[in-house]
Structure 1
Amino acid sequence: MADQGPVRGRISEVFWAFLALGLTSFGGPVAHLGYFRTAFVERRQWLTESAYADLVALCQFLPGPASSQVGFALGLMRAGPWGAAMAWLAFTLPSAIVLVLFALGAAVLDGPIASGIVHGLKVVAVAIVAHAVWGMARNLCPDKTRVGIALAAVFTVVLVSGPLGQVSAIVLGGLAGLALCRDSAVATPSESLHFPVTRKAGMVALGLFGGLLIVLPLLAGMAAWLDIADAFYRSGALVFGGGHVVLPLLEAEVVQTGWVTSDAFLTGYGAAQAIPGPLFTFAAYLGALLPGINGLLGALLALLAIFIPGFLLLVGVLPFWNQFRQWGSAQALMRGANAAVVGILGAALYQPVWTSAIIGPYEFVLALTGFLLLTVWKLPAWMVVAIVAFAGIFLPTP
Structure 2
Amino acid sequence: MPDKTNIKTFLEILLVSTRLGLTSFGGPVAHLAYFKEEYIDRRKWLDEKMYADIIALCQFLPGPASSQVGIAIGMMRGGIVGGFLSWFGFTMPSIIILVVFAMLYQTFSLGEDTFIHSLKIVAAAVVLHAIIGLGKKLTPDKTRLSIALIAALIMLLYPSAWMQLVIIAGAGILGLRLFTNMTETTIKPFSVSISKKTGVSALLLLGTLLIALPIINRMTDHSLLNLFDIFFRVGALVFGGGHVVLPMIEREIVPQEMLTLDQFLAGYGMAQAVPGPLFTFASYLGTMLEGVTGAFVVTIAIFLPSFLFIIAALPFLNELRSHSSFQKILIGVNASVVGILLAAFYDPVLKSAIVTGADFALAAILFALLSIWKLPAWMIVIIGVLGGYILQLIS
Q: Same fold (TM over 0.5)?
A: yes
| Alpha-carbon distance change, 395 to 218 in structure 1, aligned in 2, over 3 angstroms | farther
Of 176-185 and 240-249, deviating more is 176-185
In the alignment, does 2:206 pair up with 1:197? no
Residue 368 of structure 1 is matched in structure 2 by: 364
Q: Does the Cα contact within 8 Å between 1:286 and 1:299 map onto a contact in 2?
A: yes
Q: Does the Cα contact within 8 Å between 1:156 and 1:168 map onto a contact in 2?
A: no
Superposed displacement of residue 392, structure 1: 1.1
Superposed displacement of residue 150, structure 1: 0.4
Superposed displacement of residue 257, structure 1: 1.5
In the alignment, does 2:311 pair up with 1:315? yes
Superposed displacement of residue 396, structure 1: 4.0
Instruction: Output the amino acid matched with 2:311.
Output: V
Q: Does the Cα contact within 8 Å between 1:115 and 1:393 map onto a contact in 2?
A: no
Q: Does the Cα contact within 8 Å between 2:103 and 2:288 map onto a contact in 1?
A: yes
Residue 246 of structure 1 is matched in structure 2 by: 245
Superposed displacement of residue 119, structure 1: 1.3
Q: Does the Cα contact within 8 Å between 1:188 and 1:325 map onto a contact in 2?
A: no
Residue 161 of structure 2 is matched in structure 1 by: 163
The CA distance in 2 between the partners of 1:151 and 1:50, in whole Å, is 35
Residue 183 of structure 2 is matched in structure 1 by: 185
Superposed displacement of residue 285, structure 1: 0.1
Residue 9 of structure 2 is matched in structure 1 by: 10
1:338-384 per-position Cα deviation (integer Å, ceiling 9, x unaligned)? 00000000000000000011111011111111111111111011101
The CA distance in 1 between the partners of 2:31 and 2:242, in whole Å, is 12
The CA distance in 1 between the partners of 2:134 and 2:186, in whole Å, is 21
Q: Considering only aligned residues, what root-mean-square deviation do their CA atoms show, in Å?
A: 1.7
TM-score (norm 2): 0.96
| Alpha-carbon distance change, 328 to 297 in structure 1, aligned in 2, over 3 angstroms | same
Q: Does the Cα contact within 8 Å between 1:25 and 1:32 map onto a contact in 2?
A: yes
| Alpha-carbon distance change, 3 to 318 in structure 1, aligned in 2, over 3 angstroms | closer
The CA distance in 1 between the partners of 2:208 and 2:186, in whole Å, is 31
Of 26-35 and 180-189, deviating more is 180-189
In the alignment, does 2:346 pair up with 1:350? yes
Residue 220 of structure 1 is matched in structure 2 by: 217
2:295 to 274, 299, 306: 299
Q: Does the Cα contact within 8 Å between 1:153 and 1:343 map onto a contact in 2?
A: yes
Superposed displacement of residue 110, structure 1: 5.0
The CA distance in 1 between the partners of 2:310 and 2:72, in whole Å, is 8
| Alpha-carbon distance change, 104 to 5 in structure 1, aligned in 2, over 3 angstroms | closer
Q: Does the Cα contact within 8 Å between 1:145 and 1:181 map onto a contact in 2?
A: no
Identity of aligned residues (%): 47
The CA distance in 2 between the partners of 1:52 and 1:37, in whole Å, is 8
Aligned residue for 2:107, secondary structure, equals coil
Instruction: Output the amino acid matched with 1:212.
Output: L
Instruction: Output the amino acid matched with 1:160.
Output: Y
In the alignment, does 2:54 pair up with 1:58? no
Of 334-343 and 321-330, deviating more is 321-330
| Alpha-carbon distance change, 102 to 332 in structure 1, aligned in 2, over 3 angstroms | same
The aligned length equals: 392
1:146 to 144, 147, 170: 144
Of 46-55 and 151-160, deviating more is 151-160
Q: Does the Cα contact within 8 Å between 1:109 and 1:115 map onto a contact in 2?
A: no
Residue 206 of structure 2 is matched in structure 1 by: 209
Q: Does the Cα contact within 8 Å between 1:55 and 1:193 map onto a contact in 2?
A: no
Q: Which runs of 5+ in 2 are unaligned?
A: none
Q: Does the Cα contact within 8 Å between 2:4 and 2:77 map onto a contact in 1?
A: no
Residue 283 of structure 1 is matched in structure 2 by: 282
Q: Write out the 4+ residue segments of structure 1 that deviate beyond 6 Å after TM superposition.
A: 2-6
The CA distance in 2 between the partners of 1:137 and 1:188, in whole Å, is 26
Q: Does the Cα contact within 8 Å between 2:198 and 2:312 map onto a contact in 1?
A: yes
Q: Does the Cα contact within 8 Å between 1:51 and 1:191 map onto a contact in 2?
A: no
The CA distance in 2 between the partners of 1:382 and 1:193, in whole Å, is 38
The CA distance in 1 between the partners of 2:66 and 2:185, in whole Å, is 23
The CA distance in 2 between the partners of 1:249 and 1:217, in whole Å, is 16
The CA distance in 2 between the partners of 1:154 and 1:286, in whole Å, is 25
1:98-118 per-position Cα deviation (integer Å, ceiling 9, x unaligned)? 000000111233589x81221
Q: Does the Cα contact within 8 Å between 2:286 and 2:295 map onto a contact in 1?
A: yes
Superposed displacement of residue 4, structure 1: 6.8
Q: Does the Cα contact within 8 Å between 2:4 and 2:79 map onto a contact in 1?
A: no
Aligned residue for 2:108, secondary structure, equals coil
Q: Does the Cα contact within 8 Å between 2:110 and 2:116 map onto a contact in 1?
A: no
Residue 326 of structure 1 is matched in structure 2 by: 322
Aligned residue for 1:107, secondary structure, equals helix
The CA distance in 2 between the partners of 1:393 and 1:384, in whole Å, is 14
| Alpha-carbon distance change, 270 to 212 in structure 1, aligned in 2, over 3 angstroms | same
The CA distance in 1 between the partners of 2:90 and 2:201, in whole Å, is 26
1:302-327 per-position Cα deviation (integer Å, ceiling 9, x unaligned)? 11100011221121121112112221
Superposed displacement of residue 250, structure 1: 0.8
Superposed displacement of residue 247, structure 1: 0.7
Q: Does the Cα contact within 8 Å between 2:2 and 2:9 map onto a contact in 1?
A: no
Instruction: Output the amino acid matched with 2:180.
Output: R
The CA distance in 2 between the partners of 1:68 and 1:103, in whole Å, is 23
TM-score (norm 1): 0.95
- Aligned ranges 1:3-42 → 2 under 5 Å: 7-42=6-41
| Alpha-carbon distance change, 233 to 188 in structure 1, aligned in 2, over 3 angstroms | farther
Aligned residue for 2:147, secondary structure, equals helix
Aligned residue for 1:184, secondary structure, equals coil
